[in-house]
Amino acid sequence: MENIKWMTDSAILKRMGEQVKAWRLDMDLSQAHLAEKTQLSLATIYQIENGKGTSMQNLIKVLRILDRLDALSPFFQEKEISPLEYQKLEAGMKTRKRASKARKDDADNNSTPLW
């Protein structure tokens, strides 16, 4: 498996197109039938499968018909935090309680003996 970080944009599009084509063939659909089901043109399906690029909306339509929307699931995952990060966050939310400052009048009165 190639490391996606080192692939060019066109190589990534080509690989994605190949995968879409494989999924379509697994479902035994022709390009024309997929185009009809997605309400996209045959040329758009051809472009997607050949890595020529398309809009995100068109790709979503194709993935939906191919029952492969799960390919987009990494975009919808909530960020998980480690227990240590959670503890740090929780500690930061705690507020320190301090004694209230004595008023100046009280301080003066307390320094003078009452006898």
pLDDT of residue 58: 96
Are the CB atoms for 48 and 57 separated by under 8 Å? no
Residue range 18-43, pLDDT digits in tens: 999 999 999 999 999 999 999 999 99
Stated pTM of the model? 0.66
Indicate if the pLDDT at residue 106 is higher than 60: no
Q: What HEC string does the chain produce? A: CCCHHHCCHHHHHHHHHHHHHHHHHHCCCCHHHHHHHHCCCHHHHHHHHCCCCCCHHHHHHHHHHCCCHHHHHHHHCCCCCCHHHHHHHHHHHCCCCCCCCCCHHHHHHHHCCCC
Task: Please name each of the domains of the chain with its CATH number.
Answer: 4-76 (1.10.260.40)
Percentage of residues in the chain with pLDDT exceeding 70? 82
**Residues 37, 41, 43: CA angle, nearest 5 degrees:** 130
pLDDT of residue 103: 62
Q: Tell me the C-alpha distance between 76 and 65, whole Å.
A: 19
Q: Tell me the C-alpha distance between 112 and 78, whole Å.
A: 63
| Confidence band for 115, pLDDT divided at 50, 70 and 90 | low
Residue bearing tokens 């029952």: 67
Mean pLDDT value across the chain: 85
